[in-house]
Structure 1
């Protein structure tokens, strides 16, 4: 795959991820945990079909015997799937997306804390500016408890994502012994595990189900198009693009998502959200662009076993 094609696919991934907010605003009756249940259920069905086609019976034979890292990663995916949709029903799309945008910085802090990676001064500065942006975004509207609650729920997404990426980084770039032990470890089924856990946990909380057939159709589209397809693509793209570049391109989801909600649901972001979001995105873009400039070329990684 050429670099240009990989970048184009990553832009497509962010575009697909960004449609969740605007689609959710057009639901008839489904709310909160029921929205999460239907999306996770159809995500799990789509992933089961796709991974069975890719792996065959080996997928299901090895799922229960999967190592602990796969199940921990699956738990992280389930938190990401669940918290995102619940937060979308509690606050504005812009608040959720800007809050999630701090994920690369949280990942950098986790890498420093758990993998002992040194962080450059630019990253510490970006952490401070992004934190100021988040505080500005909902600090001015502290009286709106609903917005604050949604933002706090949305914070679970970058925290779970940072845990997941740190785990995957440890597996792929740990000691020689760790790499040898995990050489045949397939982490892709963790996404399926996460979808199954999310659907199972939210079903009791969503009962009784009140979604209309139109709601189910829209949420099935989200489960397949907005979640399953881009998740499979991004796992493939981690073999083609460096992590800083993926993080930088991933910020397009914030721009796309806010634009969709504005144009398709008349959900104009507040001035506080725009000001706070500008601080967050500015800090992230500056940090990632400087990282790309200072990053030395590295040889292409060998394809992961079992991935096509």
Structure 2
């Protein structure tokens, strides 16, 4: 895969991810945990079909013998799948997406704490500014009260789980480099584990089910098009693009998601989300732009 094609696919991935908010706003009767259950179930069915085609019988062997890294990663995917959809039903699309956008900075912080990676001053500064942005959102929602603050708290689980997952993958790569005799586990089936666990956990909370045929068609769209397909594509893209570049392109999900919810569901982002989001996105953009300039000057 060429670099240009990888960038194009990653942009497509962010566009597919971003449809969740606007689609959810057009549901008729399904709410909260039922929305999460159906999306995770359709995602699990699509991933099972795709991974059986990609891995064949080796898929089931990997699930049996993958060891603790595979299942920890699966639990991280469970939190990401579950918390995202529950948060979308509790607060605005903009608030959820802005909260999720701190994932690259949380990942950098986890890498420093658990993998002892050195962080440049610009990254510490970006973490501080992004923290102010999220703190502003929390503060305003706490003053205004209601479910919005709860939604942001639930949404925070997504970047925390994502950072844990990415740090785990980096740890596995470091371990394999230190000891080449160790075989690096196939972590792709973890996305399937996460989908199955998310569906299983939310089913009792969603019962009795009330989704209409209209709702099921939309939730099926989310499970397949918004989750399964882009997750599989992103794994392939991550092999070509460096992590900072992937993180930077992934910020497009915030822009696409807010615009789609605004145009398609008449959900305009409020001033709190705009102010906090500007700080978070600005910090991320500045951090990645400085990193890119340093890499280019190093090659000069």
Q: TM-score range by the shorter chain?
A: over 0.9
| 2:62–2:189 CA contact under 8 A, matched in 1 | no
- Structure 1 distance, partners of 2:256, 2:291, is 24
SS in 2 for 1:187: coil
Alignment-derived partner of residue 240 in structure 1 = 240
TM-score under structure 2 normalisation?
0.96
Larger relative helix fraction = 2
1:171 aligns with 2:182: no
Distance in 1 (alpha carbons) for counterparts of 2:101 and 2:179: 30
Residues 225-279 of structure 1 deviation map (CA, whole Å, 9 limit, x = unaligned): 0000000011111110000000000000000000000000000011121111011
Map 1:137-176 onto structure 2 (within 5 A): 137-142=137-142, 143-174=144-175, 176=177
Q: Could you say what secondary structure the match of 2:8 adopts? A: helix
Cα-Cα RMSD? 1.5
1:108 paired with 2:108, answer: yes
How far 1:10 sits from its partner (Å)? Answer: 0.3
SS across alignment from 2:160: helix
Number of aligned residue pairs: 297
TM-score, scaled to structure 1: 0.94
1:44-123 alignment, distance < 5 Å: 44-123=44-123
Cα deviation, 1:280-299, whole Å, max 9, x if unaligned, reads 0000011112122223799x
SS of residue paired to 1:118: coil
Change (3 A) 1:175 1:193: closer
Does structure 2 conserve the Cα–Cα contact (< 8 Å) formed by 1:16 and 1:225? Answer: yes
Which consecutive residues of structure 2, in runs of 5 or more, have no partner in the other structure? none
8 Å contact kept, 1:28–1:215 = yes
Once the two structures are overlaid, the 10-residue window that deviates more, 101-110 or 168-177, is 168-177
Segments of 5+ residues of structure 1 without an aligned counterpart are: 299-308
